[in-house]
Structure 1
Amino acid sequence: MILCCGEVLIDLVPEPGRSGGALLPLPGGGPFNTAIALARLGAVAGFCGAVSTDGFGAKIAARLHAEGVQLHAPRTAAPTPLAVVTLDPEGRAAYSFYTERTALHALADAPPPPGAAIALFGGISLGLEPCGTVYEALFERQKASGALMVIDPNIRPAVIGSGEVTRSRLARMLPRADILKLSDEDLAWLSDDPEAQLRDWLAAGVGLICLTLGGKGLRLLRPGLDLHLPAEAITPVDTIGAGDSFSAGVLQALWENGLRSGADLRALPEADLRKAADFAQKVAALTCSRQGADPPHRAELG
C-alpha cells in the first residue's frame, strides 16, 4: 500500500461559465489528491487524515470509497476545512484557507496503519498546530517500520504565516526522506541558497529530488545525477492538483519498476527514472486539462 498522510478539505472553485462568483465545492487537499490519483493509476492507496461527519465530510468519505482508497483515520464531528480558490488568467490557482477548529486538527496520536510500503507526507498539515506535531510523530513511526518515505512540502505561506514552526519541522523531516518532491517556489521559501540546499539534502541521504519548475519543466536529482526534462506542452484549465498528480505518477511508475526501498531507488537506471518522470508529467498535464483536482485514470494514459 502507498499511504498518503495529511489534510483533506473542500476546495471552493470558481464555476466555469457562471457569473457572480459562483463556487463549486470539490474535495481536495494535497495528500488526498495524491491518494485519489494513485488509486486511479492502479495503486493500492490509503489515506490517513481526519474526515468530518458533516455534509462535506460525507462527500469526502463517499469519494474515497468510490475511488477504492482505504481510509485509515477516525471520523470527527469537527467541521471540514475549506480552501477558497482564485484563478489567474493562465489558470494558476491561489488559495485562502479556513482551518481553525476544523477536522484538520482532529487526528489523534494513533498508531500507523499496517502494511504501508511507501508513505507520503506533506501539505499544510505539516505547517499548522496541533496537527503538524501529530503528523511528524506518524512520519517517525512509519520510517521506523521500514516504509519508503516521501515528502511534498507544498508550502502555502498564506496559511502558515511566518512559518518558523514549519521551517523547524521541515528542517528535521526533509533530510530523513527517501524522495522529496517540491516546486521551485517551495525551494525558494525553504532556502536563500537553493543549490546548496539541494546538495545538503542529497548529502544527508535523500535518494531522489523531483523539483518541478512550472512551464520550465522538471529537475531530477540524486547523487551523481542532475537531469533537466522539458515541460509538457499544454493549455491548462487550471493547475489545481497538478503537483499532487505528479507525485502519484512518479510513485506509481517507480513502484511498477520494483521500487520498494532506498536501495532500489539508488540502483534504478537513469533510463527508468526518465520514464517515470515522463509518465508523471503526463499525469499532471491531464489533470491540468480539466477543472479542479481530477486526475486521469490509467486507461487515459495509453
Structure 2
Amino acid sequence: MILCCGEALIDMIPAKTEDAGTGFVPHSGGSVFNTAIALGRLGTRAGMLTGLSRDLFGRQLDDALKASHVDTRTVVYSDRPATLAFVQLEAGHATYTFYDENSANRMLAPEDVGALPEDVLALYFGGISLCNPPAADTYLELAERHAGRCAIMLDPNIRPSFISDIPAYRARIARMLAVADIVKVSDEDLGWLYPGPEALMEKLAALLKAGPSVAIMTRGGSGATAYLRDGREISVAAEPAQVVDTVGAGDTFNAGVLAKASELGLLTPGGLAEAGEAEISDVLAFGAKVAAVTVSRAGANPPWREELAQERPPA
C-alpha cells in the first residue's frame, strides 16, 4: 500500500450566485488528499495519514476518501476545525488563501501517529502539511523513521505565503530531501529552494546531491523530465487537453507516477533509479495522461481507471 501523508482540506471554489455575485462552494481537496484520491481511483492500494476534523467538512473529506477506496485506518480524528483554502482563479490558474490555525490537520502531533500497517511499502509527502509545526515535524519524523524500508516520494509544492518560519521550513525540507527517493518539483519550486543566479541544471544537480536519486520536473503543457544521479534525462510530452483549470493537476500527476511505478515493481528504495529508460518513460507518460484528464474538468477531479480508455491493465 502507498500511504499518502499530509493535508486534507476544503477548497472553497468561487461560483456565481443568483444575484450575479460570487460565492464559494466547498470541495474536498489538499495536495496530499488529491493524490490519495487519484491513487484510489486508479485502482492502486492507497491509504491516508492525516488529521481530520469531526465537523461537517471533516465528514465530507472522510466520505470522499472512502468513496474513492482510500484506506482510512491511519486517519487521526479530532474536534478541531477543518482547514479551509479559499481559491481564486485567474485564466485557469489557482491561487489560495488558507485558514489553518489550530486545525485538525495543522495540530497533528507525533504521539498521535501509531505504528504503520505492515502492508505500507511506500510513503508520499508534500504540500502545505510540511510548512508549519507540529504537523510538519510529525511528517518529517515519520519519513526519517521509515527511510530505507519504504520508498519515499516528496513533492514540496511550495506555497511561500503559508510558511510561518522560512529558515525552519528550509531546514525541514533539507532533511526530507535527504531521505527521499523521488522528488517532484516545478521550476518555481526549484527557484525557491535555490534562489541564486545559477542555471537550472546547476540547481537540479544541487537537488540530486541533497539526497534523492530521481528528480522529476514538471513544466505544465511542456511535459515532464526525470533527472537521475547517473546523468540520464528522460522526457515525455504533455498529453493534449483542453484546460478548464489546473486545480489538482500536479497531485494527479504524482498519483500516476506512483501508480505506474508500483505496477512495474519499481516503487522500492532506489527502484526507479535502477530502471531502464523505457520504464521511466512509461511512468512519466502515465502521470501526464491522468493529469490531462484532471485539467480538462473543473476542480481536483482525478479520473477513474476505466476512464483511461487507452490504458491497458498490467500483465
Scaled by the length of structure 2, the TM-score of the pair is 0.91
Counterpart Cα distance in 1 of 2:172 and 2:208: 18
Corresponding position of 1:257: 264
Report how far residue 141 of structure 1 moved.
Answer: 1.8
Corresponding position of 2:137: 133
Q: 2:297 aligns with which of 272, 290, 299?
A: 290
Instruction: Answer with 76-85 or 189-198: which moved more.
Output: 189-198
Counterpart Cα distance in 1 of 2:11 and 2:305: 24
Any conservation in 2 of the 1:176–1:204 contact (CA below 8 Å)? no
Counterpart Cα distance in 2 of 1:2 and 1:229: 24
Report how far residue 111 of structure 1 moved.
Answer: 2.9
Tell me: CA distance 1:284–1:112, structure 2 relative to 1, closer, same or farther (3 Å).
farther
Corresponding position of 2:11: 11
Aligned residue for 2:21, secondary structure, equals coil
Structure 2: state its 5+ residue gaps.
310-315
Counterpart Cα distance in 2 of 1:265 and 1:227: 12
Counterpart Cα distance in 1 of 2:235 and 2:266: 22
Counterpart Cα distance in 2 of 1:184 and 1:201: 12
Whether 2:255 is the aligned partner of 1:248: answer: yes
Q: Deviations over 1:71-97 (max 9, x none)?
A: 1122100000000001112x1111111
Corresponding position of 1:188: 191
Report how far residue 20 of structure 1 moved.
Answer: 1.1
The CA RMSD over aligned residues, in Å, is: 1.7
Letter in 2 for 1:122: G
Letter in 2 for 1:69: V
Counterpart Cα distance in 2 of 1:196 and 1:80: 40
Report how far residue 162 of structure 1 moved.
Answer: 6.0
Corresponding position of 1:216: 222
Any conservation in 2 of the 1:30–1:241 contact (CA below 8 Å)? yes
Whether 2:277 is the aligned partner of 1:273: answer: no
Counterpart Cα distance in 1 of 2:237 and 2:267: 28
Counterpart Cα distance in 2 of 1:301 and 1:16: 32
Counterpart Cα distance in 2 of 1:228 and 1:261: 22
Q: 1:111 aligns with which of 106, 109, 114?
A: 114
Instruction: Answer with 241-250 or 258-267: which moved more.
Output: 258-267
Aligned residues: 300
Counterpart Cα distance in 2 of 1:17 and 1:225: 52
Q: How does 1:164-179 map to 2 (within 5 A)?
A: 164-179=167-182
Counterpart Cα distance in 1 of 2:143 and 2:55: 28
Q: Deviations over 1:147-178 (max 9, x none)?
A: 00110101011211562221111112113210
Counterpart Cα distance in 1 of 2:266 and 2:294: 24
Corresponding position of 1:121: 125
Instruction: Answer with 100-109 or 17-26: which moved more.
Output: 17-26
Structure 1: state its 5+ residue gaps.
none
Q: How does 1:69-84 map to 2 (within 5 A)?
A: 69-71=70-72, 72-84=74-86
